[in-house]
Amino acid sequence: CNLTGWWENDLGSKMQVFKVGNDGSFSGEYHTAVSSAKKPIQPSPLNGSQHLDEDGQCTFGFTVNWKKFSDSTAVFVGQCFNGDDGKEILHTSWLLREKVDSEPDDWKATR
């Protein structure tokens, strides 16, 4: 699986991976289509790592820092699959950590 290029999810968010290095490291931008932030959405930097393997159905993970419009950070983990039509498909799960004002509010900070 080659992560380099543009990817789009079911909600219309887009990710651009600039280049995957020989060690599997990559960077890019995430263009989210959904946000609860009060500021306008802006493209946000991402950094990640891909496990390079023989069958091409690799695992990967990346972090997105929403610093341009929000006080939150998200981490994604996933795997690339080769579909029956030959098209590469990414399946991911994510955690989002929002900033809270105090430790007692910690319980509601991660989705």
Domains and CATH numbers, the chain: 5-102 (2.40.128.30)
Query: What is the arithmetic mean of pLDDT over 61-65?
Result: 96
Query: What is the arithmetic mean of pLDDT over 71-86?
Result: 91
Taking the whole predicted model, whether its pTM rises above 0.85 is answered as yes
pLDDT above 70 coverage of the chain, percent: 99
List the Cα angle 34/37/43 in 5-degree steps: 60
- 3 state DSSP class of 63: strand
- From the number of C-beta atoms within 10 Å of its C-beta (0-12, 13-18, 19+), residue 59 rates as middle
List the Cα angle 72/75/76 in 5-degree steps: 140
Q: What is the pLDDT, as a whole number, of residue 56?
A: 67
Residue 103's region, left for phi above 0, alpha for psi from -120 to 50, else beta, is alpha
pLDDT digits (tens, 9 = 90+) for 3-57: 999 999 999 999 999 999 999 999 999 998 888 777 788 899 999 999 987 776 7
